Structure 1
Amino acid sequence: MNRLIRVTLAGLTAAALVLELTGCGGNDRAGSPMSATPDPNRLSQQFADLLQRPDIDQATARYEEMSGHIRDALSGAFPDLRWRQTSQLTGAACGFGYPGLETDGEQRGLPNWMAPGSIPDGRWDEAVRVVRTVALKYGFDKVVTTVGRPTDHEVVFSDPYDAELNFGSAVNTTLLVRTGCHLTPEAKKRGHPTSSPAGG
């Protein structure tokens, strides 16, 4: 499968994810699993778990800082890379994994970055080490190779909050970051789910 087709399929997958996260498409809110009354015990536990995480604004700021340091480190090792932002910050509800927290939790896609041109095959492992060195400082301690063939490479790093950092190189070199689910600042300050008043 050539790069163009793979990127197109990735775009379609991303679009499907957005539809799922926003409750659009075949499973609309009316009659969908998200519209059912969530289990109160599960709701409380999930909210308590999310309280231990930074809020979505704090997480976004931290990941944006990481992305900037990675781009700087890569440019230092590969001076020909010229990064430019290719999208804007996006956000959506946390999706079906967090029923009942649609208004309290959010996940975001950070702006995507792209540098025209590719990293030579012989230096790809070096590039991954550069990214990993920075990513580990931000808790991205897991890495999976999703594409590994001549002139086409991609790895995905993840952290304990289910954030993902995608780093790839083919026709262009790309860096993408998606957060996991985090409470909004308002929800974290409130300390309990919107659907559950304080004390009960």
Structure 2
Amino acid sequence: MFGGSAGRASRGPLGVGMIVTVLLIGGCSMDDQSTFFSDGSAVSQERVDEMNAELRALPSLEATGAEFGAVIREIASAVERVAPGTRFPAEPEGTKNGICTDEWASSDGRRVFLGYLTSPVPIPEDRWDAALAVARELAADHGLVHETVRRDLPNDHDVVFSGGGHRVSIGSLKAAVISGVTACRLPERTGAGSPTSTAP
């Protein structure tokens, strides 16, 4: 199960769901050495240190990204089995790291923004419910139990599963796309993470 800071969602290319980052950069005050929330309110250095300590006890950014990447590939494989003709690549395109949002923007943490797993063949309308069901089940197995339907029209679907700051999106229009973003984590070089699969 995953845990951590939340990401933000918006529709991506091809009319399907994709997770994107909003870069929120904390500043430093010369007077009190505070950093800031994304709304401009101050975050004390003590709180920043606490956040980094919390993140250090969690799996590292690299371990979380690897685990979460495996989750979206697992979902893609399950969708292929119930949606004939839909075929996803082995690895997502465009995976990158980005800074965290909200209070966690003041920490040293980062998130992994997984690129697109794209099938040029969309999920057939008569197989969408089955594809969504297997995606929902696998997402729930990894703690992504909140479901947000952003689009639900014939041959035009966009659904996000979220939990613990992690998100997976699945959508289908002119193509089928699966993607995701992890919660806030510290890179291995900071000494983060002994466990690799669970969070408090």
- With the shorter chain as reference, the TM-score category is 0.7 to 0.9
TM-score, normalising length: structure 2: 0.73
Of 53, 57, 63, 2:58 maps to 53
Aligned-pair distance for 1:41?
3.0
Structure-2 residue corresponding to 1:80: 85
Aligned-pair distance for 1:95?
4.2
Q: Does 1:35 align with 2:28?
A: yes
- Give the total of aligned pairs: 169
Q: Does 1:141 align with 2:145?
A: yes
3-state SS in 2 of match to 1:182: coil
Structure-2 residue corresponding to 1:167: 170
Deviations 1:119-150 (A, max 9, x none): 23333221111111211222211111011112
TM-score, normalising length: structure 1: 0.73
Aligned-pair distance for 1:181?
0.8
Letter in 1 for 2:145: D
Aligned-pair distance for 1:113?
0.6
Q: Distance between the aligned counterparts of 2:166 and 2:192, measured in 1?
A: 22
Q: Is the 8 A contact 1:43 1:99 kept in 2?
A: no
Greater Rg by CA: 1
Structure 1 residue runs of 5 or longer lacking an equivalent are 24-32, 191-200
3-state SS in 1 of match to 2:75: helix
Structure 2 residue runs of 5 or longer lacking an equivalent are 1-10, 36-43, 194-200
- Structure having the higher helix fraction is 1
Q: Distance between the aligned counterparts of 2:59 and 2:81, measured in 1?
A: 30
Runs ≥4 residues deviating over 3 A: 5-11
- Structure having the higher strand fraction is 2
Q: Is the 8 A contact 1:70 1:134 kept in 2?
A: yes
Q: Distance between the aligned counterparts of 2:185 and 2:45, measured in 1?
A: 19
Bigger RCO of structures 1 and 2 (CA < 8 A, at least 6 apart): 2
Q: Is the 8 A contact 1:165 1:178 kept in 2?
A: yes
Q: Distance between the aligned counterparts of 1:9 and 1:171, measured in 2?
A: 7
Structure-1 residue corresponding to 2:181: 178
Q: Is the 8 A contact 2:56 2:192 kept in 1?
A: no
Gap change, CA 1:145 and 1:41, over 3 Å in 2: same
